[in-house]
Amino acid sequence: MKHKNIFVACDTSNLSKIKKIIKQTQTNKLKIIPKFGLQFFYSKNGRKFLENFKKDFWLDLKINDIPQTASSAIDSLKDLKKCKYITVHVNGGLAMLSSIKKKAKSINKDLKVLGVTILTSLNDKSLKEIGHTKSVKQLVLKQAGLIKKSGCDGIVCSAQEAKMIRQKFKKLLIFTPGIRLPGDSADDQSRVMTPNDAFKNKVSGIVLGRSLIKGNIKSNTQKLIDHLNK
């Protein structure tokens, strides 16, 4: 199972909790990579911690701005040598995506740029409230085309759209949040799936948050291992 891309969402600003999550999700049966989002990165000690982090990590900033500002933001992260993945919002448009990918390639050839599509907390009703006329699946497919055209490396979408994306874009990385272990609450997510079902939909990697870090982390990690072995 070590070849499976598994990410744990380190969604806290508490440094001691971050260290605990990282330590207790480590196992010789799986490689679990930490994903740091806005909450930790914006915290007092977050940026400094990542400067000295010695293992691969995913920085989930969902950058979304005009092309020059967005690419400059990427340039400001060049000291984070172990950052393997960075997220940007597809909403920023093709020019922004292309600009970010070009900058990322110039500062770190191993840095993968992932385009975030429709957040897994949203559904068709939510999109109509925003003003979109397309369904979630239609919009995600359209956005996947922009990601491919821009040269970015992958897409972040729900596992429910993954099979559709994989059929059309064979080589695109597909990473999926909104993953829950069987029996866990969906919480604020609208489009969720279990790890095994997500991998059956040909995803490249999955992100688990509360299913791993809520309660006993070591026990939850073992539940994940047992689930993937079924």
Among all residues, which ones are annotated catalytic?
Answer: 62
For residues 10 and 39, what is the distance between their CA atoms, to the nearest angstrom?
A: 9
Structure-token match 């995803």, residue found: 203
The C-alpha atoms of residue 65 and residue 152 are separated, in whole angstroms, by 16
d(CA 77, CA 186): 33
81/104 Cα distance (integer angstroms): 12
Q: Which residues sit opposite 89 in a β-bridge?
A: 116
β-pair partners for 138: none
Cβ(116)–Cβ(89) below 8 Å: yes
Among candidate residues 93, 201, 109, 228, the one with its CA nearest the CA of residue 149? 93
Q: End-to-end alpha-carbon separation of the chain, Å?
A: 12
